[in-house]
A and B are shown apart, each in its own frame.
Chain A
Amino acid sequence: MDTKELETTALLAQIELGKGDLARLGEAVSQMLDNFRKMNELDTEGLEATTHALVTDNRVRPDSPVPSDLADALVERSPELEDRFIVIPNVL
């Protein structure tokens, strides 16, 4: 994978890559991609993609509230709070 593709991919993944990272991680990524291309040897013509393994019946839940008593515990776990709001920096 060339550097530009790697950078675009990192941007999509919201990961910052320094110069050293680009070389080191880039090599590992490329090595695996080469391995992935091995799949082209296998003829999969006419095969459906498997996206879900075993469940075959419909799965839904009724529209009735299940009160969670965890709201406070969840709010507390945020690194920065203003009353009950979770705070992040604004776009300036």
Chain B
Amino acid sequence: MYQTFVGLEIHIHLNTATKVFCGCKAHFGDEPNTNVCPVCMGYPGVLPVLNQHALELAYTVSLALGCQLSHRTLFDRKNYFYPDMPKNYQITQFHEPVGQNGSIEFALADGTTKKVRIHDVHLEEDAGKMIHAGDMTLVDYNRAGYSLLEVVTEPDLASGEETEAFLQAFQRVVRYLGVSDGNMEEGSMKCDTNVSINKAGAGLGTKVEIKNLNSSRFVKKAIEHEQKRQAAVLEAGNKVSQETRLWNENRDVTETMRTKEGGLDYRYFPEPDLPPFVPDASFLKRIQDAQVELPLARKQRLVREFGLSREQADFVTDARFTADFFEQAVRASAASGGSAMANWLMGDVQKELNHFNLTLEACPLTAGRLASLQSLLDAGRIHTKIAKQLLVSIFEEDKDPETLLQEKGLESIATEQQLAPIVESVFSAHPNVVAAVKAGDARQKGFLVGQVMKATGGRAAPDLVNALLAKFLA
């Protein structure tokens, strides 16, 4: 029986307006080599100038992950040659990273939680981008110098599935903090995965690093492939060799990239161009102020406070905006509970978002509008079907539910006094049907309900219609 150890080196692009060591725009999708200056192109004589916001975001993440924050953070040079790295050293942090010894707790598929230890969190610069085209490689340095945060975990993850769940949880954390889009497909989050396996109880095995993983699903698949591959190597009585492998997404396998011997010696040493940074009280206050309730804690609280099911809570807390929206809507619609609001969000709201191809952030529905829709329902002024109709109108016309209700005259006909004359006129228009129903043909009762609805434009409260029919038929 083998035990698997997975550790991650996660890189995220921080949400900064400029690069980490120069004033160039940090912006995707521009013409190649336009967001460049002598600094990020590694010209002779240039010097790095540290972006304060990038540093704040790095500290914000470190604090959120429960790290010990550095009292004197320092940058180092990591030396290796790579064609898209302008200086041929990366400014990173080795001796005094921003944060150390933290942890992240996250939920597993079965609802239990697990804690993964964080070795350190450090700020560094990204490299440029290479596009391989036949016998030439095209280099674009727009991305060179982007602020990159590296979060290094201890080898605490035990399977591909667990790692996938962890990555999704991590992604939620950085999005909640607002520090990064954390989008693996778009390259704003990358993850090098270290996998080792060993006989149960024998401790860590030989570490194999897998690169080129651009989705959490590939991370899962790559780990599962490595588990099998390394187990086969050990079964055959051989040693797993310490190496870097690449994920081949066409063949679903990992392949040797380079072996570690004689290859790399990064020769880290303190970056002389950047003095150490000592966070002061006001800096630390801003870091404190930037903290938010993390997704797992929020989920657990919403379950406690509003009695949400796990499924509901998962949905509502997936994005911080949805969770905020949910809580605002619940608090604004005094009468109703959280479960109804969660159902709105999971059901009809999601359906309309899909239909109109919009996001919750950018759609005409606000938490206030959803709350008043629910309040109309709670007050019996509309019934469910009309509520759903109003929801569509909100999306179409971008107006408040109350306004739409007035304009469209959709308020429920919910009193016996209003509805009785209508039922009477339906009865007198269809004596044969009434007779048939009275004679025991219950199937035709639906026809009468339909006629009442038709006559009221759907506004009749269904319960009342049923009650009156029963009364008149008796």
Q: B248 in the interface, Cβ–Cβ < 8 Å?
A: no
Q: Could you say which residues of chain A place their CB within 8 Å of the CB of B270?
A: 51-52
Q: Could you say which residues of chain A place their CB within 8 Å of the CB of B300?
A: none
Partner of A68, one of B37, B135, B267: B37
User: A14: nearest residue on chain B (CB-CB)?
Assistant: B81
Q: State whether A74 touches B136 (Cβ < 8 A).
A: no
Q: A42 in the interface, Cβ–Cβ < 8 Å?
A: no
**Known contacts A52-B275, A83-B32, A85-B131; is A90 also within 8 Å of B137 by CB?**
yes
Q: A39 in the interface, Cβ–Cβ < 8 Å?
A: no
Chain B min CB distance to A3 (Å): 15
Q: A18 in the interface, Cβ–Cβ < 8 Å?
A: no
Q: A23 in the interface, Cβ–Cβ < 8 Å?
A: no
**Known contacts A58-B280, A61-B51, A70-B37; is A89 also within 8 Å of B135 by CB?**
yes
Q: State whether B37 touches A87 (Cβ < 8 A).
A: no
Q: State whether B139 touches A86 (Cβ < 8 A).
A: yes
Chain A min CB distance to B15 (Å): 10
| Per-residue interface assignment for chain A, residues 47 to 65, with 1 indicating a CB less than 8 Å from any chain B CB and 0 otherwise | 0000110011111111111
CA A56 – CA B135 in complex, angstroms?
A: 50
Q: B446 in the interface, Cβ–Cβ < 8 Å?
A: no
Q: Could you say which residues of chain A place their CB within 8 Å of the CB of B138?
A: 82, 85-87
Q: B36 in the interface, Cβ–Cβ < 8 Å?
A: yes
Q: A32 in the interface, Cβ–Cβ < 8 Å?
A: no
Q: A44 in the interface, Cβ–Cβ < 8 Å?
A: no
* Interchain Cβ contacts within 8 Å, total number: 119
Q: A66 in the interface, Cβ–Cβ < 8 Å?
A: yes
CA A60 – CA B35 in complex, angstroms?
A: 21
User: A52: nearest residue on chain B (CB-CB)?
Assistant: B275
Q: B140 in the interface, Cβ–Cβ < 8 Å?
A: yes
CA A91 – CA B82 in complex, angstroms?
A: 12
Partner of A59, one of B50, B79, B133: B50
Main SS of chain A's interface residues? loop
In the complex, which of the residues B37, B79, B81 has the most CB atoms of chain A within 10 Å of its own CB atom? B37
**Known contacts A60-B277, A68-B36; is A85 also within 8 Å of B41 by CB?**
no
Q: A28 in the interface, Cβ–Cβ < 8 Å?
A: no
Q: State whether A90 touches B37 (Cβ < 8 A).
A: no
Q: State whether B272 touches A88 (Cβ < 8 A).
A: no
| Per-residue interface assignment for chain B, residues 61 to 102, with 1 indicating a CB less than 8 Å from any chain A CB and 0 otherwise | 000000000000010000101010000000000000000000
Chain A min CB distance to B157 (Å): 32
CA A63 – CA B146 in complex, angstroms?
A: 12
Q: Could you say which residues of chain B place their CB within 8 Å of the CB of A63?
A: 16-18, 51-54
Partner of A84, one of B31, B74, B137, B272: B31
Q: State whether B139 touches A74 (Cβ < 8 A).
A: no
Chain B min CB distance to A72 (Å): 9
Q: State whether B51 touches A74 (Cβ < 8 A).
A: no
Q: Could you say which residues of chain B place their CB within 8 Å of the CB of A86?
A: 33, 138-141
Q: A75 in the interface, Cβ–Cβ < 8 Å?
A: yes
CA A92 – CA B43 in complex, angstroms?
A: 29
CA A43 – CA B38 in complex, angstroms?
A: 43
**Known contacts A60-B55, A68-B23; is A74 also within 8 Å of B137 by CB?**
no
CA A56 – CA B277 in complex, angstroms?
A: 9
CA A62 – CA B54 in complex, angstroms?
A: 10
Q: State whether B33 touches A65 (Cβ < 8 A).
A: no
**Known contacts A61-B49, A63-B52, A82-B138; is A71 also within 8 Å of B33 by CB?**
yes
| Per-residue interface assignment for chain B, residues 262 to 299, with 1 indicating a CB less than 8 Å from any chain A CB and 0 otherwise | 10010100101011111010000000000000000000
Q: B367 in the interface, Cβ–Cβ < 8 Å?
A: no
**Known contacts A60-B55, A66-B18; is A12 also within 8 Å of B36 by CB?**
no
Q: Could you say which residues of chain A place their CB within 8 Å of the CB of B24?
A: 65-66, 68
Q: Could you say which residues of chain A place their CB within 8 Å of the CB of B17?
A: 63-65
Q: B132 in the interface, Cβ–Cβ < 8 Å?
A: yes
CA A61 – CA B55 in complex, angstroms?
A: 10
Q: A40 in the interface, Cβ–Cβ < 8 Å?
A: no
Q: B418 in the interface, Cβ–Cβ < 8 Å?
A: no
Residues of A within 8 A of B (CB): 8, 11-12, 14, 51-52, 55-68, 70-71, 74-75, 82-92
Question: Can you sample 6 A-B contacts with CB below 8 Å?
Answer: A51-B272, A59-B274, A61-B50, A66-B22, A89-B137, A91-B132
Residues of B within 8 A of A (CB): 16-18, 22-25, 31-38, 41, 43, 49-55, 74, 79, 81, 83, 131-141, 262, 265, 267, 270, 272, 274-278, 280
